[in-house]
Structure 1
Amino acid sequence: MASAEVKSPSIRARIQAFGGFLTNMVLPNIGAFIAWGILTALFIPTGWVPNEQLAKIVGPAITYLLPLLLASTGGRMVAGQRGAVMGTIGAIGLIVGSDIPMFLGAMIIGPLGGWVIKKFDKSIENKIPAGFEMIVNNFSIGILGFLLMILSFYIIGPVIESGNNIVTSAIKTLVATGFLPVLSLINEPAKVLFLNNVIDQGIYYPLGMQETLKEGKSIFFTVASNPGPGLGLLLAFSLFGKKAAKRTAPGAIIIHFLGGIHELYFPYVLMKPLTILAMIAGGMSGITVFNLFNAGLVAGPSPGSIFAYLALTPKGNFLGIILGVLVAAAVSFLVTSIILKLDKKTDEEEDFSSSVERSKSMKSEGKQILSSSIDRVTTNKVSKIAFACDAGAGSSALGATTFRKRLQKNNINGIEVKHFRIEDVPQDSDIIVVHKDLYERARLTHRDKKIITIENYIDDPNLAQLMSELEQS
Structure 2
Amino acid sequence: MATATVAKPRTSMRVHVQRFGTFLSGMIMPNIGAFIAWGIITALFIQTGWLPNPELGGFGNSAAGTPNVGLVGPMITYLLPLLIAYTGGKMVYDVRGGVVGAIGTMGVIVGAGIPMFIGAMIMGPLAGWTMKKIDSIWDGKIRPGFEMLVNNFSAGIWGALLALFGFFGISPVVTNFSTAAGNFVEFLVHNGLLPLTSIFIEPAKVLFLNNAINHGVLTPLGIQQSLEQGKSILFLLEANPGPGAGLLLAYIFFGRGAAKASAPGALIIQFLGGIHEIYFPYVLMRPLLILGTIAGGMTGIATLAITNSGLVAPAAPGSIFAVLAQTARDSYFGVILSVVLAATVSFLVSSLILRTTHHSDEVDLGSATSKMEALKGKKSSVASTLVGAGVGTAVLTRPIANIVFACDAGMGSSAMGASVLRNKIKAAGFPEVKVTNASIANLRDDYDVVVTHQDLTERARPATSSAVHVSVDNFMNSPRYDEIVEMVKESKAGPGAESTTATAEPVAQGGGAHAAEPSDVGGKDVLLAQSVVLNGTARDRDSAIDEAGQLLLDRGAVDTSYVQAMHQREESVSTYMGSFLAIPHGTNAAKDHIKHSGVSIVRYPEGIDWAGKQVKFVVGVAGINNEHLHILSSIAKIFTDKAQVAQLEQATSVDEVLELFGKVNA
Alignment partner of 1:260 out of 260, 270, 274: 274
Partner of 2:309: 295
Calculate the aligned-residue CA RMSD, in Å: 3.6
Partner of 2:346: 332
Partner of 1:280: 294
Residues 4-30 of structure 1: per-residue CA shift (max 9 Å, x gap): 996652221121111111111111111
Distance 1:32 1:413 in 2: 45
Tell me by how many angstroms 1:428 deviates. Answer: 5.8
Whether 1:38 and 2:40 are equivalent positions in the alignment is: yes
User: CA 1:12–1:2 in structure 2 vs 1: closer, same or farther (change >3 Å)?
Assistant: same
- Map 1:15-30 → 2, pairs under 5 A: 15-30=17-32
User: CA 1:423–1:302 in structure 2 vs 1: closer, same or farther (change >3 Å)?
Assistant: farther
Partner of 2:573: 426
Tell me by how many angstroms 1:128 deviates. Answer: 1.6
Partner of 1:385: 454
Partner of 1:94: 108
Distance 1:146 1:136 in 2: 15
Tell me by how many angstroms 1:408 deviates. Answer: 7.1
Distance 2:285 2:276 in 1: 16
Aligned residues: 404
Alignment partner of 1:149 out of 163, 169, 185: 163
Whether 1:66 and 2:98 are equivalent positions in the alignment is: no
Alignment partner of 2:55 out of 31, 49, 53: 53
Distance 1:382 1:401 in 2: 7
Residues 124-155 of structure 1: per-residue CA shift (max 9 Å, x gap): 21122222211111111111111111111001
Q: Which amino acid aligns with 2:165?
A: L
Distance 2:72 2:83 in 1: 15
User: CA 1:308–1:7 in structure 2 vs 1: closer, same or farther (change >3 Å)?
Assistant: closer
User: CA 1:125–1:200 in structure 2 vs 1: closer, same or farther (change >3 Å)?
Assistant: same
Residues 357-388 of structure 1: per-residue CA shift (max 9 Å, x gap): xx999714579xxxxxxx99766x84743389
Partner of 1:206: 220
Instruction: Report if the CA contact (8 A) 2:454-2:473 is conserved.
Output: no
Alignment partner of 1:10 out of 2, 12, 24: 12
Instruction: Report if the CA contact (8 A) 1:204-1:220 is conserved.
Output: yes
Q: Which runs of 5+ in 2 are unaligned?
A: 58-69, 370-386, 400-444, 459-470, 486-568, 578-586, 590-666
Distance 2:267 2:29 in 1: 23
Partner of 2:89: 75
Instruction: Report if the CA contact (8 A) 1:243-1:352 is conserved.
Output: no
Distance 2:293 2:339 in 1: 13
Instruction: Report if the CA contact (8 A) 1:388-1:425 is conserved.
Output: no
Higher relative contact order (CA 8 A, sep 6+): 1
Distance 1:429 1:340 in 2: 46
Instruction: Report if the CA contact (8 A) 2:258-2:361 is conserved.
Output: no
User: CA 1:158–1:266 in structure 2 vs 1: closer, same or farther (change >3 Å)?
Assistant: same
Tell me by how many angstroms 1:412 deviates. Answer: 6.3
Counting aligned pairs with the same residue, the percent is 51
Partner of 1:133: 147
Partner of 1:217: 231
Distance 2:5 2:56 in 1: 61
Distance 1:192 1:100 in 2: 33
User: CA 1:127–1:352 in structure 2 vs 1: closer, same or farther (change >3 Å)?
Assistant: closer
- Map 1:360-439 → 2, pairs under 5 A: 363-365=395-397, 382=451, 384-386=453-455, 424-426=571-573
Distance 1:319 1:231 in 2: 19
Distance 2:14 2:218 in 1: 20
For the residue of structure 2 that corresponds to 1:386, the secondary structure is coil
Instruction: Report if the CA contact (8 A) 1:94-1:152 is conserved.
Output: yes
Instruction: Report if the CA contact (8 A) 2:21-2:212 is conserved.
Output: yes
Compute the TM-score of the two structures, normalised by the length of structure 1.
Answer: 0.78
Distance 1:255 1:182 in 2: 27
Q: Which amino acid aligns with 2:573?
A: P
Tell me by how many angstroms 1:350 deviates. Answer: 2.4
Instruction: Report if the CA contact (8 A) 2:82-2:105 is conserved.
Output: yes
User: CA 1:253–1:118 in structure 2 vs 1: closer, same or farther (change >3 Å)?
Assistant: same
Tell me by how many angstroms 1:353 deviates. Answer: 9.8
Q: Which amino acid aligns with 1:27?
A: M
Alignment partner of 1:172 out of 164, 186, 199: 186
User: CA 1:366–1:212 in structure 2 vs 1: closer, same or farther (change >3 Å)?
Assistant: farther
Distance 2:177 2:393 in 1: 56
Q: Which amino acid aligns with 1:120?
A: I
User: CA 1:301–1:178 in structure 2 vs 1: closer, same or farther (change >3 Å)?
Assistant: same
Tell me by how many angstroms 1:48 deviates. Answer: 0.4
For the residue of structure 2 that corresponds to 1:53, the secondary structure is helix
Q: Which amino acid aligns with 1:58?
A: V
For the residue of structure 2 that corresponds to 1:325, the secondary structure is helix
Tell me by how many angstroms 1:299 deviates. Answer: 0.7
Q: Which runs of 5+ in 1 are unaligned?
A: 368-374, 390-399, 415-421, 431-444, 448-473
Tell me by how many angstroms 1:214 deviates. Answer: 1.0
Distance 1:130 1:354 in 2: 57
Partner of 2:210: 196
Instruction: Report if the CA contact (8 A) 2:454-2:472 is conserved.
Output: no
User: CA 1:107–1:121 in structure 2 vs 1: closer, same or farther (change >3 Å)?
Assistant: same
Distance 1:334 1:446 in 2: 52
Instruction: Report if the CA contact (8 A) 2:258-2:362 is conserved.
Output: no
Instruction: Report if the CA contact (8 A) 2:254-2:351 is conserved.
Output: yes
Instruction: Report if the CA contact (8 A) 1:285-1:324 is conserved.
Output: yes
Tell me by how many angstroms 1:302 deviates. Answer: 0.5
Q: Which amino acid aligns with 1:301?
A: A
User: CA 1:376–1:313 in structure 2 vs 1: closer, same or farther (change >3 Å)?
Assistant: farther
Distance 2:301 2:24 in 1: 24
Partner of 1:467: none
Residues 421-449 of structure 1: per-residue CA shift (max 9 Å, x gap): x994417699xxxxxxxxxxxxxx999xx
Distance 1:175 1:15 in 2: 26
Distance 1:329 1:3 in 2: 34
Distance 1:354 1:306 in 2: 26
Residues 184-236 of structure 1: per-residue CA shift (max 9 Å, x gap): 01100100001111111111110111011111111000011100000000000
Distance 2:576 2:8 in 1: 19
Instruction: Report if the CA contact (8 A) 1:245-1:352 is conserved.
Output: no
Distance 1:409 1:360 in 2: 11
Compute the TM-score of the two structures, normalised by the length of structure 2.
Answer: 0.56
Partner of 1:109: 123
Tell me by how many angstroms 1:239 deviates. Answer: 1.1
Distance 1:317 1:87 in 2: 37
Distance 1:423 1:19 in 2: 23
Structure number having the greater helix percentage? 1
Partner of 2:360: 346
